[in-house]
Amino acid sequence: MIANGETNIIRNNERIEWIDALKGFAIFCVTLGHLNMWGPIEKWIYSFHMFLFFFLSGFLFSSRKPTMEILKARVKRILIPYIGWNVISSLIGMLFFDKSFSDFVEDLFILEGNHSWNTPIWFLLVLFLAEIIITLLKLYKHKWLTITTIVICLGLWILIGHKWLLWKLNLLPMAICFFLLGFIFKPLVSKIHKWYILLLLGIGSIVFSSLNIRIIYTYGKFGNYVYCVLAAVCGTLFFIGLFSGVRMFSRLRFLKVWGRNSMIIMATQFFVFKVVSFLSVRLLNIDLINYKSTVVALILALSIAALINLLVVLFKKYTSNIKFLKTIGEIFGIQY
């Protein structure tokens, strides 16, 4: 059933439930996208999933909060967890993946634009940098400034998006662009609930993604930027409209829980991949992580997301009253 007007937003304890559910779906897509499946599906998922996360971050951004409050919150909730996971991932790369100390330093500080083996956490760094710049420069203050910034960032993205730069700065214009798109789109969300608009957006997402290459964010491979942007916008708005307008999706409890733990699922899934790969080779003589099967990939993505979420729930349950362990959890992005 399509919701009307303000009924599209269901609030519970000041969380927007459809956004939690959509984040859960998005992190499932991220997990699925890192597995081996049918090419067209993989290409379609990559055409929107990370753009969707940046868009949602902008959608949730509150311009009414004091600047210092925003900055402190971003340091605590994004930068510190990123540093924690990046240090651990870079150390593991040096100790277990035959990387040298110089490789460790390069991975840790992303000196040449190359991240550690735990590639999904690039998103946290780029999101943090984007939010800091947007907050300090108050790029949200006036609509004309926001729109001008979006246009400029589109141009910068085309110019430097393919380069390998320090701290993944080549991806920063793209992040700022979609963050600000999410911010200005907030009051318009109910406009895309009509079935024919969702149908057009869904078709556009599939068509434009099929016309482009399978994009690779970390390598700066976006193919045709016109097709890339159109596929990203259509895919993002399609799922925004679907989850905000159709109550059935906003009430899927498992997706809402995954959405609340999306940072941890993003940061730890490659650890689980390594374990599953090792065990499946030893026990089954098959590397399930690299096994080319869409069905296997779907089962693995669902299972891995559910497993990580279960571990987070158990960790929170047994550490909520232990200050030291709770602090460790918060450092790595667990929200109590």
Please write the tens of the pLDDT for every residue from 171-204: 999 999 999 999 999 999 989 999 999 999 999 9
**137 vs 106: CA distance, rounded Å:** 30
If pLDDT is split at 50, 70 and 90, which confidence band does 12 have? very low
- pLDDT of 8 reads 41
- Average pLDDT of span 48-56: 97
Which residue reads 């069905």 in tokens? 295
Q: Nearest 5°: CA angle at 124, between 334 and 51? A: 115
Is residue 224 predicted with pLDDT exceeding 50?
yes
Q: What is the largest distance, in Å, between two alpha-carbon atoms of the chain?
A: 60
Please write the tens of the pLDDT for every residue from 256-304: 999 999 999 999 999 999 999 999 999 999 999 999 999 999 999 999 9
Q: Which of 97-106, 251-260, 309-318 has the lowest mean pLDDT?
A: 97-106
Q: Which of 63-72, 75-84, 110-119, 287-296 has the lowest mean pLDDT?
A: 110-119
**79 vs 86: CA distance, rounded Å:** 10
- Residue 11, strand partner residues: 16
Q: In this structure, are strands 11-12 and 15-16 parallel, antiparallel, or unpaired? A: antiparallel
Decide if 205 contacts 47 (C-beta within 8 A). yes
If pLDDT is split at 50, 70 and 90, which confidence band does 6 have? very low
Enumerate helices (H) and strands (E) in the chain, giving the number of each: 16, 2
Per-residue CA distances from 2 to 87, 204, 307 (Å): 45, 21, 32
Paired tokens of 86: 């990046």
Is residue 3 predicted with pLDDT exceeding 70?
no
- Average pLDDT of span 23-30: 97
Which residue reads 């300090």 in tokens? 136
For the question of whether the overall pTM of this predicted structure is more than 0.85, the answer is yes
Please write the tens of the pLDDT for every residue from 141-150: 899 999 999 9
Please write the tens of the pLDDT for every residue from 284-296: 999 999 999 999 9
- pLDDT of 209 reads 97
- pLDDT of 94 reads 86
Share of the chain above pLDDT 70, in %: 96
**237 vs 227: CA distance, rounded Å:** 15
- Average pLDDT of span 65-87: 94
Domain boundaries, the chain: 38-251
Which residue reads 């891995």 in tokens? 304
If pLDDT is split at 50, 70 and 90, which confidence band does 13 have? very low
- Average pLDDT of span 132-161: 94
Is residue 2 predicted with pLDDT exceeding 50?
no
